[in-house]
Amino acid sequence: MLPDTRGFHGSSRIVSEWATRRRRAEKASDQNLQKVPSARTIARLMTMARDHLSKADSVTVAAIEAGVLALVEARTLIERFHAMIRMKIEADLEPWIAEASASLLASFAAGITKSKAAVAQRSRSHGQTVRPRDKSTS
């Protein structure tokens, strides 16, 4: 006789413990929604991939996006900057700096302006490493 392979074979105690953990997790996430997250937490949540956020974090991000449009603009600028560096699009640097200078990223844009040559070089050679010369073979 073959064993029955349909359904869950655990005891009702296991199911009860699982349901209790699940209810407690939902209650904890509801309580977390009432706390104001720190600036570091907000920055992490706003820059994480949306697919990887928990339900509570997604609700927090939605509330932040609805209330602070400047943070949404800053996140968009950061995503554009990352894409520009990854795809080595040096021509987009000047327009990006102009836009970022009028946003929450103004100090970052000022730093990029000061080291524009290095950023442009990085966008051209991203992923390539320069090997130092061997001084012993002169």
**Separation CA 131–CA 38 (nearest Å):** 42
| Confidence label for 5 from pLDDT (cuts 50, 70 and 90) | low
| pLDDT tens per residue, range 40-81 | 988 888 888 777 888 878 888 888 888 889 988 999 999 999
Q: Are 123 and 85 in contact, with CB atoms under 8 Å apart?
A: yes
- d(Cα 78, Cα 113) in Å, to the nearest integer? 15
Query: 0.95 exceeded by the pTM?
Result: no
Chain-wide mean pLDDT for the chain?
79
Please say if the pLDDT value at position 109 is more than 90: yes
- Using CA atoms, how far apart are residues 81 and 90, in angstroms rounded to an integer? 10
Task: Name the CA dihedral angle for 77, 81, 82, 83, rounded to a multiple of 10 degrees.
Answer: 100
- Region 89-94: what's the mean pLDDT? 86
Q: Dihedral sign, CA of 107, 113, 116, 118?
A: negative
CB 25 within 8 A of CB 40: no
